[in-house]
């Protein structure tokens, strides 16, 4: 990334190359990494931390995935209410932000045959016909050949955004990166919802 800006100390334009470092993390570690100062910012779903600001970028739609021979596989679209009694694979405690988004629309009760600790594990289990799973559209790129994605009739989503320590919001390069992400996200959100 190249940053060109004005250096107020010497009154001249300044251009510098900044090599970005991308770190892949689990559902909770982006916030921990930000708070601990290991990274400047992180892309994450909504969270609450008194020292970290959340800048919303886009709404990531929720989907139900099932195997091609699952009783719900004939549907292209379902209501959240139809999940009552569903054989839902779930992630306990953390990482269930997409399931919680659906439960805000309708507090369904599910019969859970399995719990897992990763979306990849849940996708594999769905592909094998071991249950259904609620996942975000962003994560649907990993679906197996035997897996069907079903949209919700209601607008169900998780909000994705940037987490950053509040005192870093005024740093020029950070402000520029945030604005770039906001501008990019407008078209990206439309594309996500059209899938």
In a domain, residue 99? The reply is yes
In a domain, residue 101? The reply is yes
Count of domains forming the chain = 1
Structural domain of residue 97, as residue ranges? 58-157
In a domain, residue 167? The reply is no
Residue pLDDT, tens place only, 131-143: 999 999 998 888 8
**Given this model, what pLDDT does residue 119 score?**
85
Residue pLDDT, tens place only, 14-30: 555 555 555 555 555 67
CATH number reported for the structural domain that contains residue 65 in this entry: 3.40.190.10
**String of DSSP letters for 76-132:** SEE-GGGGTT--B-B--STT-HHHHHHHHH-------S-B-S-HHHHHHHHHTTS-B
pLDDT beyond 60 at 10: no
Task: Tell me the average pLDDT of the chain.
Answer: 83
Query: pLDDT band at residue 3, thresholds of 50, 70 and 90?
Result: very low
CB 141 within 8 A of CB 60: no
CB 137 within 8 A of CB 195: yes
Query: pLDDT band at residue 8, thresholds of 50, 70 and 90?
Result: very low
- Dihedrals φ, ψ of 177, to 5°? -65, -40
CB 49 within 8 A of CB 33: no
């Amino acid at each position: 990334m190249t940053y060109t800006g004005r250096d107020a100390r010497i009154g001249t334009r300044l251009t510098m190359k900044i090599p970005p470092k991308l770190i892949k993390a689990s559902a909770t570690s982006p916030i921990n990494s930000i708070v601990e100062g290991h990274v400047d910012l992180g892309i994450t779903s909504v969270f609450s931390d008194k020292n970290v600001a959340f800048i919303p970028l886009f709404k990531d739609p929720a989907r139900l995935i099932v195997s091609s021979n699952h009783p719900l596989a004939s549907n292209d679209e379902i209501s959240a209410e139809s999940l009552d009694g569903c054989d839902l694979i779930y992630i306990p405690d953390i990482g269930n932000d997409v399931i919680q988004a659906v439960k805000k629309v309708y507090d369904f009760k599910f019969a859970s045959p399995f719990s897992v600790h990763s979306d990849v594990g849940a996708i594999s289990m769905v592909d094998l016909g071991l249950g259904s799973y609620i996942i975000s559209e962003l994560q649907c790129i990993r679906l197996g050949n035997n897996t069907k994605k079903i949209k919700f009739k209601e607008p169900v989503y998780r909000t994705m955004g940037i987490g950053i320590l509040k005192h870093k919001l005024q740093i020029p390069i950070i402000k520029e990166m945030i604005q770039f992400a906001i501008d990019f996200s407008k078209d990206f959100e439309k594309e996500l919802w059209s899938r």
